[in-house]
Amino acid sequence: MKLFYIIIISLILLPAATLKPMRVDADFSDSNRFLQDVAEEGGAGFATPTEGENDLYYTVGRIINVALSLLGAILVILILYGGFKWMTAGGDPSKVEKAVAVLRNAVIGIVIVLAAFAISSFVLNGLLKATTT
């Protein structure tokens, strides 16, 4: 069972460790200007609220994003804590079980937070499009 977890963790961390940071020297001002023009004309489903419009939408969106970001950070810390507990268990089965439970619960929590983010993003974008068109 330990070998299975080691292989899974290795498959996740190894590709991330081999990634190199990319340097992008592109000037996106033209494409941003194009997207802004399209949004102002109301084409392609883009919606840009005017000043003072949709304040509630953006306030609710910011609150949700901040709350989900904090939850995500807490869950990452819990994953690190569970991994630390597992590595320092010293082969004691009860400590390993507790560490695995922490890791399992943290992973389930991250899945729930990501699902909540996706659902709230979908709903708020739908409300924005419905109220601005």
Per-residue pLDDT of the chain (133 residues), as tens digits, is: 777 777 777 666 666 555 555 555 555 555 556 656 655 665 444 445 555 555 677 777 778 888 888 888 898 899 999 999 999 998 899 999 999 999 999 999 889 888 888 888 888 888 778 877 6
Give the total number of structural domains in the chain: 1
- CA–CA dist 28, 51 (Å, integer): 24
- For residue 56, tell me if it sits in a domain: no
DSSP letters for 61-116: HHHHHHHHHHHHHHHHHHHHHHHHHHHTSTT-HHHHHHHHHHHHHHHHHHHHHHHH
**Alpha carbons within 13 A on the beta-carbon side of 14:** 6
pTM over 0.75, yes/no: no
- For residue 97, tell me if it sits in a domain: yes
CB 124 within 8 A of CB 61: yes
- CA–CA dist 84, 95 (Å, integer): 11
- For residue 94, tell me if it sits in a domain: yes
- For residue 24, tell me if it sits in a domain: no
* Structural domain that includes position 117: 74-133
